[in-house]
Amino acid sequence: MTDSDRGILTIVSGFAGSGKGTVMNKLISEHDNYALSVSATSRAPRPGEEEGKSYFFKTREQFEDMIADGMLLEYAEYVGNYYGTPKDFVFAMMDAGKDVILEIEMQGAMQVKEKYPDTLLIFLTPPSADEIYRRLKGRGTETDEVIAKRMKRACEESEYIKDYDFLVINDNINDCTDRVHNIIQSAHHTVSHESGFADMIKEELLGFNTIK
């Protein structure tokens, strides 16, 4: 496999209530080139969440063992809980040519970008702060205290949007999913992703170079 056949590693972050989960599910169901990484977390499952599908649910001690054993590509604490990306799945899927998506928050995103600068960073946001609050409240799964913490965190996060490569406003789920898909597919044609091809054609052209 050449570098060009390798999948793209994409991080999608976004404010709480940005609709990341819905967009990711739509992307996976509409296209078969994506693999969505399942994170480990020490947070308690929400109603309807499934082990191994939504998250790998761990105790804090189990999570700390995963850190110590070097099993995580990145990890961060978010509103009092650990979240992290198991490493093996990500690399196996990229090697198999899948475009791997990590739906993670900003600190983790920056750790991955630092280690793998070719990572594509997309930030998803609802159209306004009112809408963020409305969506969090409407979900009905969090207490007012947790919602307040998540709103505060969103405010802190807004500082770091500029470190991302793309900003996508989720005002319509279909349009937003299409935009994310198009961005990731364009990344297959960056010069750095196609560097193997660029080297190959340079070699081929040298073979035609008969002028001294």
Q: Which residues form the interface with ligand 5GP (CB under 6 A)?
A: 39, 43, 74-76, 78, 83-85, 103-105, 107-108
Residue 183 and residue 122 in contact, taking contact as beta carbons nearer than 8 Å: yes
Nearer of residues 165 and 194 to ligand 5GP, judged by Cβ: 165
Other CB atoms closer than 10 Å to residue 180's CB: what's the count? 23
Q: How far is the CB of 193 from ligand 5GP (least distance, A)?
A: 24
Q: How far is the CB of 197 from ligand 5GP (least distance, A)?
A: 32
Nearer of residues 75 and 123 to ligand 5GP, judged by Cβ: 75
Nearer of residues 7 and 108 to ligand 5GP, judged by Cβ: 108
Q: How far is the CB of 65 from ligand 5GP (least distance, A)?
A: 16
Nearer of residues 19 and 108 to ligand 5GP, judged by Cβ: 108
Q: How far is the CB of 75 from ligand 5GP (least distance, A)?
A: 6
